[in-house]
Amino acid sequence: MELTLSAWGLEPLMDTAALLASEVLSNAVEHARDTEHDGAAPTLRLTVSRRCGTLLVEVGDPDEHLPCMREAADDDENGRGMALLQALADKWGAESVQGGKKVWFTLRVPR
């Protein structure tokens, strides 16, 4: 993703995009692992695109359960990914797709 953002001249978005993508991918790995009955690692899809002044990042996984916001306690090791999306992304969401779900977020491209 860093190479793509660099090629598009979007270095100012790199840290935030990488942090949020990492959170979404980590959640996908953790939750999609349970859907693989043969012990295989889940297949994930990362898509990065630029449209109309917006960077769109999408992560697809085979788990059908949509993520939900939860409040993490101070000593919890997990549970902050959706809160980070809420705080840092311009928009974010999740939707059911054939074979699982897609979680996405957008960041406004600086002018």
pLDDT of residue 50: 96
Cβ–Cβ < 8 Å for 60, 44: yes
Residue reference for tokens 């295989």: 40
pLDDT tens across 18-61, in order? 999 999 998 888 877 665 556 677 789 999 999 999 999 999 99
**What does the domain layout of the chain look like in residue ranges?**
2-108
Domain covering 2-108 assigned CATH 3.30.460.80 in the classification: no
pLDDT of residue 31: 75
pLDDT tens across 49-105, in order? 999 999 999 999 998 888 866 665 656 555 567 888 999 999 999 999 999 999 999
Which strand ranges, in their side-by-side order, compose the sheet holding 54-61? 45-51, 54-61, 100-108, 91-97
